Structure 1
Amino acid sequence: MRTGMSEGLRIVPDTSAVIDGILSEKIEQGEFVDAEIHVPEAVVAELEAQANRGLEIGLKGLEELKKLQKMAEDGEIYLDFTGERPSYNQIRLASDGEIDALIRESAIELDATFVTGDKVHSLVAKAKGLDVLLLRADPEKFGPLLVDQFFEPDIMSVHLKNKVPPMAKRGSIGDVKYVKIRDDPCTYDEIKAISNELLSRARSDRDSFFEISFNGASVLQIRDMRIAIANPPFSDDIEITVVRPIASMRFEDYRLSDVLKERIGAQRGILISGPPGSGKSTFASGVAVYLNDLGFVVKTMESPRDLQVPPEITQYAPLDGRLENTADVLLLVRPDYTIYDEVRKTVDFEIFADMRLAGVGMIGVVHANRAVDAIQRLIGRVELGVIPQVVDTVIFIDKGEVAKVQILEFTVKVPSGMTEADLARPVILISDLETGASEFEIYTYGEQIVVMPIGDQATRKPSWDLAEGNVKNVISDYAKGPVEVEMTSDHRALVKVKEKDLPRIIGKGGRTIGDIEKILGIHIDVREIDESKSKQDPDFGSPEPRNAGYGRQESDIIDFRPIIERTKRHLILKVPELATRDVEVYAGEEFIFTATVSRHGDIKIRVGSDVAYEILGAMDVGKPVMVRLD
């Protein structure tokens, strides 16, 4: 017969004691011999409610009751269920202490020892005058976990599923392979035993905790391991994923330029981007330690908390389930830097932007396949005009290395590919930090926001070479001088010709260029060729002689007869052939005024002005109104 220090003890456990498996563990260790265990119906009701919601802790507690029932049948203990079953409202208010109050009442009625694993419950029970036994696991006595058997030094994650052989991601950050680590498939009992042990450890270990608990899903953090447990109906079968860090790099181990180090230490808005498993969090941890060593106050916002940082850096989780509340507290703490791990949802980007605009140095970790993709995730979530104030640096991590760094600047300019000065607009310019080369532009075009690659980033299709040749052949039938053609999209081409060839290609009223567009099936923008380039390029031949004085040679002068329309407010001269050009307007041979033709090919003159009277008077006496290039 076994002997124990608690023979004949009358016990009333609370819910935490049942979930933690304290009772069965003590019985197996030879304690609580012949103990009377009275489980309140309130405990059973709470466990049932949790299990019905798919919470792992509820299922684990019911497994413990089943185990105690077996021990009672074997004569090791006396077990019964006592008290009244709580009402629906009492179960709903369990978090407010209603269930715990019922359990304590059962202990008072039976004059029993109240057993709990919760410190707060033990203090309340003592205040009520109860005999309390607080049983918590000794951290120094924690042994290896069942899941530890699957890990080896080069394994970063283990994937267990019922009826499937154990799988693992093995290798280094730059070379990861998904491999089978055992031929025999996992059984339900095996995975359930691993799950129960992990749940117990998360509750009893002070360095471990529950991150998330949903219907069918739980996320735990046990020391440096992040565990996700999935159950039906959330998943098709029980599954456990355990992830642990295998790489721990110092900031000095990364090959970083002095320019980048200076930007990181200047309280900026920085995004650390990269695909899953690329080493983003490892780099973020290194940055946190680096900034802490520089004397900055560094905090983290994480859900779940899995950054590997020293104790000096406090890691904050969602406060009351919301990171917005965490941000409110952090603004009162006044950190110099906040590392925001997993900026993913719209609310995450809004919190990031709010804290950055409040003056906090922010470093966010974002999933993205390219550096520019991380920036695009801000669009629609943060006002376009303030993006460079929220994020001015993007660090792209690939295979554990800093592969690219882009910087953002705000300017007003004509976007690349556009030539008309009146198209200037606010533009976010994205450049490479090391080379200074511009790579992307972000701007509004109509109601859309465009992210346009420029320079070497612009994508050019092989089919455009053939299309440019076809366009050049057709335009050459109308132009006597050189022709330059550049495809800007599948359906648009930019054509540059000499100034004197413009009228021939555009034609009266734009009819000629319209016919050309119908032949080619694309839209054509016609511009004057860069004369300075043509003089330097031998392919263009010798430049044409021009008068040294004002105007052109008589043989070069070309007049255009405008279409004249009159509205209530304006007299409109239509010359689409000369769109955006500076011109002179004549009545016969008499000069009237100079003007700039709009990009729509119009010259608008206010009705009632002296110029309007002159033009109308010339028309009345039969003088032709002509427009001539200035």
Structure 2
Amino acid sequence: IRIAITEKPFADRMEITAVRPIAKLSIEEYGVSEELKQRFIEKQRGVLISGPPGAGKSTFAASVANFLMNHGFMVKTMESPRDLMVRDDITQYAPLENDMRLTADLLLLVRPDYTIYDELRKTSDFQVFADMRLAGVGMIGVTHATRAIDAVQRMIGRVELGVIPQVVDTIIFIDAGEIKKIYELNFTVKVPSGMYESDLARPVIEVSDFETKKVEYEIYTYGEQVVVMPVERGQRNLSDVESRISKLIGNYVSQYEVEVLSDRKAIIRIPEEEIPVIVGKRGRTIRKIEEALGMSIDVYPLKIKEEIREAEISETDKHWIIHAEGLEGRRVNIYIDKELLLTASVGSRGVVKVRKETEAGKELRLALMKGEKIYIGEF
């Protein structure tokens, strides 16, 4: 039972509040998925159990402690006051000399697999939690939060931003005794959502929904500020965007590729000789296209894919004749198996002549003697 007593002058009257836990649940009764159970037991992790006051955070933390103990992990708790309803063989520690840092020092000598920290409020609590987690102890912390993402925000400024995903990789949000949301944290280097230039890449913490794996928030530094930015949802269907771009670009060029980065940014690739057509004088055409689409367009040269086919070879007294009918006037690559031999222009009669006394002619002769195949690549 947790009892809080207040009296004058702290309060205007004496008040006694007694809270007695009335529910003792197993982790299965929360409907926890097998994937989340496996996440607990595959290795020591940093987990925050968050939720508003009275939501059932401590009850869930106790069920996790019992679950881990049943799977052979050594589990301890750090509590103030000690009121978690856990198995008798789980030792519950209070602040040593009113200081959780001293309790943490002792626990590092005990070497538990997991420690339940109930609860994280002050900066020192978060720092002790982070210190133990970085020391290799699996940590499960209980903290107040009105939303799941608020649990991460409470760590910002108390723990180095780049270290947060190493300290906490899972957020479980409890409300009304039920698991309402589970997040997982990952650390990467990328251009944040809503930004497009590659030189804006920076370390980003991605906060993803555990079930769907969709990124819902990104945390990064912007100037001197730390930004917790929701990733936009409800964007235009990207396939529809690509269709609109293709329809519009097709009015200007004969060949193109479209890559849609988002509903506000796309890349088009067109033959290099047609780039002036799409850009227009002083960029007027591309600006007109961007205004019509309501998005930014970058233009890059299109790399034409090479079509390779086996070549027919004949010879005269002085030349090897490589037949390339249908490619008159085109530049082609000649290959021995996969190795490039030479690049040449196809004559008006649809052939490429290689003099036998040249280095290429000698290599071609040797390849034919070995029975190697000769290929011609059109580009």
TM-score, reference length from structure 1: 0.41
The answer to whether the Cα contact below 8 Å between 1:535 and 1:541 also exists between their aligned partners in 2 is no
**1:338–1:581 CA distance, 2 compared to 1 (3 A):** same
The answer to whether the Cα contact below 8 Å between 2:192 and 2:218 also exists between their aligned partners in 1 is yes
Alignment equivalent of 2:191, drawn from 394, 399, 414: 414
**1:275–1:535 CA distance, 2 compared to 1 (3 A):** closer
Cα distance in structure 1, aligned partners of 2:123 and 2:10: 24
DSSP-derived class of the 2:229 partner? strand
Show the 5 A alignment for 1:65-464.
225-265=1-41, 266-456=43-233
Percent identical among aligned pairs is 59
Cα distance in structure 1, aligned partners of 2:163 and 2:221: 14
Post-superposition shift, 1:539? 9.7
- Select the structure that is richer in strand: 2
Q: Determine the structure 2 residue equivalent to 1:552.
A: 274
Q: Per-residue displacement from partner, 1:470-513 (whole Å, max 9, x unpaired)?
A: xxxxxxxxxxxxxx9xxxxxxxxxxxxxxxxxxxxxxxxxxxxx
Cα distance in structure 1, aligned partners of 2:120 and 2:275: 67
The answer to whether the Cα contact below 8 Å between 1:438 and 1:455 also exists between their aligned partners in 2 is no
Query: In the alignment, residue 8 of structure 2 is paired with which amino acid?
Result: P
Counting matched residue pairs gives 272
Q: Determine the structure 1 residue equivalent to 2:305.
A: none
Post-superposition shift, 1:542? 6.7
Query: In the alignment, residue 36 of structure 2 is paired with which amino acid?
Result: L
Cα distance in structure 1, aligned partners of 2:159 and 2:276: 59
Q: Per-residue displacement from partner, 1:519-549 (whole Å, max 9, x unpaired)?
A: xxxxxxxxxxx9x966623995571242665
Query: In the alignment, residue 187 of structure 2 is paired with which amino acid?
Result: F
Q: Per-residue displacement from partner, 1:229-257 (whole Å, max 9, x unpaired)?
A: 11222112211111110111112212011
In structure 1, stretches of 5+ residues that fail to align are 1-224, 461-483, 485-529, 562-577, 584-630
In structure 2, stretches of 5+ residues that fail to align are 256-270, 284-295, 302-379
The answer to whether the Cα contact below 8 Å between 2:253 and 2:278 also exists between their aligned partners in 1 is no
Cα distance in structure 1, aligned partners of 2:98 and 2:16: 23
The answer to whether the Cα contact below 8 Å between 2:275 and 2:299 also exists between their aligned partners in 1 is no
Q: Per-residue displacement from partner, 1:569-622 (whole Å, max 9, x unpaired)?
A: xxxxxxxxx999889xxxxxxxxxxxxxxxxxxxxxxxxxxxxxxxxxxxxxxx
Q: Per-residue displacement from partner, 1:356-389 (whole Å, max 9, x unpaired)?
A: 0000000000111111000100000000001000
**1:274–1:361 CA distance, 2 compared to 1 (3 A):** same
DSSP-derived class of the 2:130 partner? helix
**1:433–1:246 CA distance, 2 compared to 1 (3 A):** same
RMSD: 2.8
Query: In the alignment, residue 26 of structure 2 is paired with which amino acid?
Result: R
The answer to whether the Cα contact below 8 Å between 1:273 and 1:366 also exists between their aligned partners in 2 is yes
Considering only CA atoms, is the larger Rg found in Structure 1 or Structure 2? 1
Bigger relative contact order (CA 8 A; separation at least 6): 2
Cα distance in structure 2, aligned partners of 1:447 and 1:428: 16
The answer to whether the Cα contact below 8 Å between 2:252 and 2:278 also exists between their aligned partners in 1 is no
Q: Per-residue displacement from partner, 1:16-69 (whole Å, max 9, x unpaired)?
A: xxxxxxxxxxxxxxxxxxxxxxxxxxxxxxxxxxxxxxxxxxxxxxxxxxxxxx
Q: Determine the structure 1 residue equivalent to 2:250.
A: 543
